[in-house]
Every structure is written in C-alpha cells, then in structure tokens.
Structure 1
Amino acid sequence: MYKEGFIMAWASLIANKMRSLLTMLGIIIGVAAVIALVSIGFGVRQQIQDSISSLGSNLLMVYPGAPRTPGVRPTAASQKTLKVKDYETLKKLNDVDMISPVAGSSSYVIVYTNKNWTTTVNGINSDFQYINNWTMKSGRFITDAQVERRERVAVIGSTVAKNLFGDENPVGKDIRIKNDPFKVVGVLDTKGSGSFGNDQDDIVFIPYTTAMERVRGVDYLSMIYIKAKDGADLNRVQSDIENIMRVRHKIKNPELDDFNVRNMATIMETVNETTGTMTLFLGAVAAISLLVGGIGIMNIMLVSVTERTREIGVRKALGATYRVIVMQFLIEAVVISLIGGAIGVVFGIGASKLISAATSMKTVISMGPILLSFGFSMAIGLIFGIYPARKAAKLNPIDALHYE
C-alpha cells in the first residue's frame, strides 16, 4: 500500500510539474532561510568567542564609572574616576601577572608628509602587547623606559602603515599627532576584522604617560587591563580588585561603586546567552515561511481532491477503505514536503557558503538546524495534509462518481 502510494504521489507530481514546484517553493525558501540564518547566528557567536578566547580566559578589565543601568546615561564626571594611582596599586597584587593602563581611545588625524589618516590613538604600556597577543611585523613595541620618560614614540597598525606609508618602511619615520612629532618605532602584524567588523589594524599606540600629559591633557585613565597568573581564581582576583578600589576611593557601600570590573568568563557567558537568543530568534523568523509553505501544500491538496473526485469514487467503489484514501493523500503531501525540504537544504548550505565567501561574516553550518528544519518540513506535510486527506476519504462514492 505504501509503495503504491509513493508511486501514485510521484506520478501526480510529474504530471503537474509547475504546480508541484510552486507548492514546494514555500518549503524550499523556509528550510533554506532557517539553515542560512541559523548558520549566520552560529558564525557570529563563534567569531566573538574566538576574539575573546584569543585574549585568554584569565583577563579582567577595570572600567571607570558604575556598572551601566538600562535607561540611565553615565555622566562625564563618572568616566574620570580611574587614576594612575589605582593602576599602580593594583599592579602590586600577588595574582597579577601583567597589567596595562589605557589612556585614550580617541580619534586623531595622523599626518606624514602630505598624507593624513584619521585613526584611534591609545596610550598603553609594554605589557599591553602580551595581554592582547599583538605581534610585531617590524621594529619593536613600546618599552617601560619610554613610558617613564614620556617619549613621543608610536607603534602603528598595518592599516595606518598602508595608508600613510604605502610600501615605505615606517620604522624610524616621524608622524604628527596634534601637530606634535612622534617617531614610529614599530609596525604591528595584521589582525584583520574584529567580532563586529571593526578594523583592528586601524590603530596607533603611544606611551600612556605621553597620551595623558602631552596629547590629551588629562589625569585619568580610560580603563585598566589585568592578566591574572595561570591557575589563579579569577573570581577571587576580581573580588580583591574591587576591595582595593573601594578602599582607594573611600567607598563603603558596593552599590555606590564608581568603577566596574569585568572578567572574561562573565563576558563569555553573556555572549553565549545573547547570541543564543539571537540565533533562536532568526531561526523562528525563518520558520514562519515553513508554515506559509504548509498552507500552500494544504491549498494545492484541496484542489487535487476536487480534481480527482471521480478517481476517488472509482477507488472506493472498488473497495478502497477510508484508511487507504487517507494514506494516499498524506503520502502525496509528505513527498512534496520531503522533496522541497531536500532542495531547501541544498540551497541553505549553498547560501551559507556564499554569504561567508562574499562578506567578512563567518557562517557555521551545523547538522542540528539542517535535521531540525528538514524534519519540520516533513511534519508540515503531515499536519497540513491531514485535512485534505480526510476530506477525500469521507467522500460518498456515489456522489463522487457522479461529480463532473
């Protein structure tokens, strides 16, 4: 019975090729959209995780100002609470392996001869290179001696080097930041785009002391990077940092903190939750088109029942039971869904690869969404094929034979 049902379903599809293709279109688009969008969601999560993991799992960051509250905009004064003395005190913690203050993250026009380029200038120390896994293409990174002497030296990213120097070696050349000369002592290796498409190589590093006193004219830091020693309890280190900061800033109530500390474990957990929700949302939006495809299947099957009323009457007159008629039309609906689902899987995988190749966006194709969307397409065929199948099976054989 099942074999005969499949043969008849296939014959019906072949006999009405265009109608069958249009019926499958909703399923094809739905399955392809689910696979493509979910692969984008997985890719974004993987890209962010890779960027965070490259910094190591034992990284903490201290920011000025209280932890942000939705709907509350931080004041300018709250962003000036992090001082050099805070950095010098935290540096003495036993579990701290490396530590670097950051002064800046401001945009400036960098000038070399008759060329100029607008980029971000950050003030840092020598530990920053190792904390953030920067490697040198040429020259060297900023030294502690240059930080102490507040020297006008700079390390530039490959994007800055390309736009200002072209094929010329930048090391030893002078650039101007706010009309002050800075000697380029090193060029960083290319890192490429970050998690959100930002160019990580469009950057200039100078000593934080120089940035604070000679460029920005401020007495506060933008943030402090802290790398804990291997094996250290990150939560305990974070607690020690918070206690030291409260003592230094004379804060007794933790709710009144004028700083906030984040660690990589917490950030990774937040990223997983956020990207997981985003991926689920994308998949749910795409799945709506599968429901639309199911409605299309039911509509065409109802038309098919009407067209084949006499055929149904003949089959029932020859002894076909209610179950046989239901099974015939259900098999036809499922075959349409399965073929549409299979084509959709191919298109979805192809679309994911095309998106990855055509853009900088990473996509991750997983078997889970493929199997889920394919299984869902088969379920759609069953669910939306039941009503037409039952309607066909309930036809009165005498009325069906007289149907014109």
Structure 2
Amino acid sequence: MSPVEDLRIAARALRANKLRSALTALGIIVGVAAVVCMVSVGAGAQAEVSEKIRTLGANLLLVLPGAHNAGGARLESGTQPTLTEEDAAAIRRELVDVQVAAPLLSRSMPLVALNKNWVTLVAGINTDYLVAREWQVTEGRSFTGDETTSGAKVAIVGSVVIDELFDGRARVGEVFRIGNVPFTVIGVLDKKGLGAAGRSQDDVVFIPLSTAKSRVLGAVHGTTREALDFISIKMSDASDRPEIERNIEDLLRQRHHIRGDAPSDFRIENPADLLTARGAAIRTLGILLIAVAAVSLVVGGISIMNIMLVSVTERTREIGLRMAVGASRRDIRWQFLIEALILSLIGGIAGAMLGAVAAVAIAWNAGWPVLISPWVIMLACAFAGFVGISFGLYPAQKAARLDPIAALRFE
C-alpha cells in the first residue's frame, strides 16, 4: 500500500473522531506553545540586557562616594561627599591602564523654552564622559576645551528633551533656560533608550562641569562645590579589571589619607554586573520554564499513546479485515504511526502559532522586546513530531501484531 493511501486512511480515521482527536492534540498544543512563548520572551529579554550593557559603554567602572555616619547609624551609599574633580584627574594622570576618568555632578532641574517646560536630569560633565559612555553627538558638536574650563552656558541635550521642548526638531543654536540661567543648545545626543534602572537615558541635559558648579547646581552635596556624584572610568582592557580596581583604590585611599585598617570612603562598581546577573537569572528561569513545557509535551505524548491504544481496541475487527484482504503488518503499523504523527504535528503547528501570539502579548504588556525565531518554531514542531512517533510506536506495534483470525472474531 502506498504512503499516500496510508495517509488518506489515517486522516479519515481521525476525522471520524474529531473531538477526541482535538483533545488528544491539546497536550501537544500546550507544550509547544509554552516552549515557543518562553524561548521567544527569554530571547527578547536577553537581547534587552545585551543592549543595555552595550549602551553603558565598554570596559566601564564607576567610582561612587561612600556612606555617611550619623548618630552611630551608617546611611545609604553616596551620602558622604568624598570624590572630587581632582581625584578624577589623578586617576587619569597616574594610571596608565585608564583611558579616561570622567567626573559627573547632577540634579533634576526645570527647563523652560518659550511656552514649554520640562523637568529632567541636568548633569555637569567634561568631554571624557561622552568618551567613557561611547555616546555620539548626532547633531551639532561636543564641548570645546575652552567651554569646559570657562564655565560657558552651552548644553548638549537628549532626544526626549528635544521632543518635549522643541516638538521633536533638532534645535541646535536654540536658547532655553535651566532654572533662571539661559543656555544655548550646541548638540543633540544619539538615542540610547532605557538604562539599567528603567529610566530613559535620552532624558538628560549635559552642561560643562565648571558651569554646573558655578552657575546651576552649586553645592548639591552638603556645603562643598567640589563633591561629585561619581567618576566614570573607561579601562583599556577589561581583562585587567581586578588590577585596575586595586590601583584605583590604592590611589584614592592615599589621596584621601585613609589609614590601612580604616574602610574606604568610596566604592568601585562595574555597572554591567547588575545587568549580567539579571540576564543570568532570566536565562535560568527560561530553562526552568522550558523544562516544565517539555514535561507538558511528554504528558501530551502519553495522551496520544492512550488514545491510540483505545483506537486499536475499538478497531480490532477493522484491522483483522484489512489483514484478511491483503494488508501487511507493515501497512497496519504505518497506519497508526501516521495517525500519531498527524495528531502531534497538528498540535505542534497550532501550539507554535499560539505560543508566538502569547509571546507578543506578554512582551507588549510588559514592555519587553520579543524575538520569535523560525528555528525555534521548527524545532518545537520537530520535537512534537518526535514525541508523536515515540509514543505512537507501541500502539502501532500492538496493532501490527494482532492475529487476523482473532481480530475478525473480536466483539
């Protein structure tokens, strides 16, 4: 008997019990849908983590102020203003493995342009900060050396600020106010998207650090104008990170006159570590969910085996009659294997479509990216087919081994 005839007979047998066939395929549908959904959402989350790490800048370290002690209680990190612009200059000057050491001082400030206003983060920087963060200026230019030292009232703005103050048009040369101080836009930053904390990196205004200290931000931390939020350090080679961290700590402890047994009044962090840990957690959770989905596929396979055994029992006389008119045991075996394969493939295709729709819905509601790979869908359907054949093999063998005479007498 030809394979086409086997396929026709198997399809006719499945159509005769539509509801049972649909319920049998349901386990495969759920398993494949779960696999496709979890893999797609997990791949999108991994891509988001990788993109955020990329936007931070390569080979980056942060030196942050330490914690202040008040009444015997140690306050949160950053409450003790210990870092200065001179510390950043010393790091850049004395450590050969450091490309740039960029100081930053920031505070949320109101912006005003004509009849529009916006509150955003205003940060005082020098040009080294854009180098450390690998941040490009797409319109206009960056700060000059004279502007960073003379306290010029110029600004580089992010795309969100352009949208809110200037209706989305790049307004290089436009004047706006930070508080009561007028500034001229000299550049527009390239888009970077959301940062590690979930805040838009494009909602920012950069001004020269000297201007921030003298005209806008002033003594943000306590009573000193020299204190910084942090120092961004770009390393020449990430493989030398432990040694560079030790060198930075030794240098700053020496500059801050900290004794050997006293704790440092600063801390050194790699901003990518948090995102890397987040990516590892997402990957682990994804593997766990895929394992659960695989169990669902196995359950679906058991359901196929159960229904096929019932089908063999119900169709014993039919099997005996086919053998009596010339069908071989091989034909009988293929008939039931094809039925199991059709059930699993229908479940696989329907599950892949359902999983893709679920992945898009989850990603849309959660604000995550989603990556639906055709290879994942093909692999899930292939695995579903493998499950169908594996669990359909025993019922098919049982049907093929029936004695034709006994089968014809079966009631």
Q: By the TM > 0.5 criterion, same fold?
A: yes
Counterpart residue type for residue 47 of structure 1? E
The change in CA–CA distance for 1:380 and 1:227 in structure 2 (over 3 A counts) is same
Which residues of 2 match residues 326-341 of structure 1 at below 5 A?
328-341=335-348
Cα distance, 1:284 vs. partner? 3.4
Q: Mean Cα displacement is larger for which, 182-191 or 364-373? A: 364-373
CA distance in 2, matches of 1:121, 1:273: 33
Deviations 1:336-385 (A, max 9, x none): 21343245446656776898899974444446644542343134324544
1:4-403 → structure 2 map (5 Å cutoff): 6=7, 8-17=9-18, 19-53=20-54, 56-65=57-66, 75-76=75-76, 78-80=78-80, 82-84=82-84, 85-92=86-93, 93-104=95-106, 106-166=107-167, 167=169, 169=171, 171-177=173-179, 180-191=180-191, 193-194=193-194, 198-211=199-212, 214-215=216-217, 217-218=220-221, 219=224, 220-229=227-236, 233-249=240-256, 250=258, 252=260, 258-262=266-270, 270=277, 273-312=280-319, 314=321, 328-345=335-352, 361-366=368-373, 369-370=376-377, 372-385=379-392
* Equivalent-residue separation in structure 2 for 1:320 and 1:139 (angstroms): 82
TM-score by structure 1 length? 0.76
Tell me the alpha carbon deviations over residues 59-100 of structure 1, each in whole angstroms, 9 at most, x when there is no partner: 32223349xxxxxx9833554354114323212122222221
Map Cα deviations across residues 243-276 of structure 1 (whole Å, 9 max, x no partner). Answer: 3234345263698674023276x67864653443
Q: Distance in 2 between matches of 1:358 and 1:14?
A: 38
Partner of 1:70: none
Cα distance 1:248–1:382, how it changes in 2: closer, same or farther (>3 A)?
A: farther
Distance in 1 separating the partners of 2:195 and 2:354: 26
Name which of structure 1's ranges 393-402 and 244-253 shifts more when overlaid on structure 2: 393-402
- Call closer, same or farther: CA 1:64–1:335 in 2, change over 3 Å: farther
Unaligned runs of 5+ in 2: 68-72
Aligned partners of 2:156 and 2:189 also within 8 Å: no
Residue type matched to 1:141 in 2?
A: S
Deviates more, 1:206-215 or 1:316-325: 316-325
How many angstroms apart in 2 are the aligned matches of 1:332 and 1:48?
44
CA distance in 2, matches of 1:393, 1:370: 33
Residues 64 and 260 in structure 1, CA contact (< 8 A), matched pair in contact too: no
Are 1:111 and 1:175, in contact at CA under 8 Å, matched by a contact in 2? yes
Cα distance, 1:202 vs. partner?
A: 1.6
Query: Cα RMSD over matched residues?
Result: 4.4
Q: For 2:137, give the aligned amino acid.
A: M
| Structure 1 unaligned blocks of 5 or more | 67-72
| Matching residue of 2:70 | none
| Aligned match of 1:69 | none
C-alpha separation in 1, matches of 2:182 and 2:310: 78
Q: CA deviation at 1:183?
A: 0.4
Deviation at 1:126, TM superposition (A): 1.6
Question: How much does 1:191 deviate?
Answer: 0.9
The 1:340/1:75 distance shift into structure 2, 3 A limit, reads same
- Evaluate the alpha carbon distance shift between residue 290 and residue 119 of structure 1 in structure 2; reply closer, same or farther with a 3 A threshold: farther
User: Number of paired residues?
Assistant: 394
Instruction: Find the residue that maps to 2:75 and give its secondary structure.
Output: coil
- In the alignment, residue 103 of structure 1 is paired with which amino acid? L
User: Per-residue CA shift, 1:213-247, capped at 9, x if unaligned?
Assistant: 64262243222111234798444333322332343
CA distance in 2, matches of 1:254, 1:31: 58
Contact kept, 8 Å, 2:173 with 2:186, in 1: the verdict is yes
TM-score (norm 2): 0.75
CA gap of 1:191–1:13, structure 2 versus 1, over 3 A, is same
